[in-house]
């Protein structure tokens, strides 16, 4: 095992122990981005992004469509490079380790930095129980029934879904409501015991009740995880975010970080006129 992976594995082992004890860790994972640029072939989608993702907090990424928000969070767990011709420059550090340095396994990074997508995507042919374990079984060849039961219950409880599905774990994941499906996807990510949780517009496809439940869940999860969320909803960002990063693209369609600060300051006293114009609906 390479030294970078060994260090990240040790950090995850500490998280796993606190998960079993059902107590929050003393500190969540740290993450920082330095001079990050992202490309699709020759096209530069993001230019020179530098910011600190604070541990144990919710960082919201806001900005108009096409400014690189989704590309940015896909760079945080190396999903971006799965697109043919895609690449990055700069660094993304998780617990001080650059996830793009040689010797770091991208698959391991994606386990440690989980992702929840815009549209709920449970595996329709799998039961609720097996949906939760889908990722775990990829990484662990041997899993006892007792271990599996513990992981399923712990993950569903963490996703605030256990009480709603505990009597129908053999039912298809697709049989749940949209909001429940999204919480099932969150449980599937949490089953891997990540250090960071990324969410790309996780409530945009949900009804108001489902949206409220996810927001409530995010507030609870930040006590244990570092969370980064992309959202178009300014009210949502104001409700759940501790920090906000505002992205904007010019005529060349390259996304840039315009302003990064606490949510309170961004929404009450932004430093940049572009930020104020976006928040007040003058642009975007």
Give per-residue pLDDT as tens, 11-62. Answer: 556 555 554 444 444 357 999 999 999 999 999 999 999 999 999 999 999 9
- What is the domain count for the chain? 1
Domain that residue 98 falls in: 3-126+196-279
Q: Are 206 and 178 in contact (CB under 8 A)?
A: yes
Tell me whether residue 170 is in a domain: no
Per-residue pLDDT tens for 138-188?
A: 887 789 999 999 999 999 999 999 999 999 999 999 999 999 999 999 999
Structure tokens at 122: 């449970």
Tell me whether residue 221 is in a domain: yes
Structure tokens at 55: 């541990």
| Mean per-residue pLDDT of the chain | 91
Tell me whether residue 265 is in a domain: yes
- Which regions of the chain does DSSP assign to beta strands (E)? 31-40, 43-53, 58-62, 86-94, 97-98, 113-116, 196-200, 226-230, 243-249, 255-262
Tell me whether residue 115 is in a domain: yes
Structure tokens at 47: 């230019």
Tell me whether residue 99 is in a domain: yes
Tell me whether residue 37 is in a domain: yes
State the pTM of this model.
0.90
The per-residue pLDDT for 231 is: 96
β-strand pairing of 97-98 with 86-94:
antiparallel
- Helices 178-190 and 208-221: crossing angle, nearest 10°? 20
The per-residue pLDDT for 28 is: 78
* Closest to 50 (Cα-Cα) out of 258, 237, 227, 252: 258
CATH code of residue 234: 3.40.50.300
């Amino acid at each position: 095992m390479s030294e970078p992976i060994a260090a990240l594995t040790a950090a995850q082992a500490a998280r796993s122990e606190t998960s079993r004890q059902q107590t929050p860790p003393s500190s969540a994972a740290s993450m920082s981005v330095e001079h990050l640029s992202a490309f699709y072939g020759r096209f530069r989608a993001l230019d020179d992004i530098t910011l600190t993702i604070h541990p144990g907090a919710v960082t919201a990424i806001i900005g108009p469509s096409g400014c690189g928000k989704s590309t940015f969070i896909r760079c945080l767990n190396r999903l971006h490079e799965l697109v043919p011709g895609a690449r990055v420059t700069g660094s993304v550090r998780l617990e001080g380790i650059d996830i793009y340095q040689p010797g770091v396994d991208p698959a391991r990074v994606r386990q440690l930095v989980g992702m929840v997508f815009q549209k709920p995507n449970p595996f329709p042919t799998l039961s609720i129980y097996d949906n939760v374990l889908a990722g775990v079984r990829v990484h662990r060849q041997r899993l006892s029934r007792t271990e599996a039961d513990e992981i399923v219950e712990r993950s569903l409880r963490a996703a605030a879904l256990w009480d709603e599905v505990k009597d129908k774990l053999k039912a298809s994941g697709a049989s749940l409501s949209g909001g429940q499906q999204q919480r099932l996807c969150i449980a599937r990510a949490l089953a891997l015991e990540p250090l960071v949780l990324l969410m790309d517009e996780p409530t945009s496809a949900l009804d108001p009740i489902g949206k409220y439940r996810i927001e409530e869940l995010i507030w609870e999860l930040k006590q244990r995880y570092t969370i980064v969320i992309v959202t178009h909803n300014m009210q949502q960002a104001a409700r759940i975010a501790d920090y906000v990063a505002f992205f904007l693209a010019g005529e060349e369609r390259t996304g840039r970080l315009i302003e990064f600060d606490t949510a309170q300051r961004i929404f009450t006293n932004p430093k940049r006129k572009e930020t104020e114009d976006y928040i007040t609906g003058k642009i975007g």
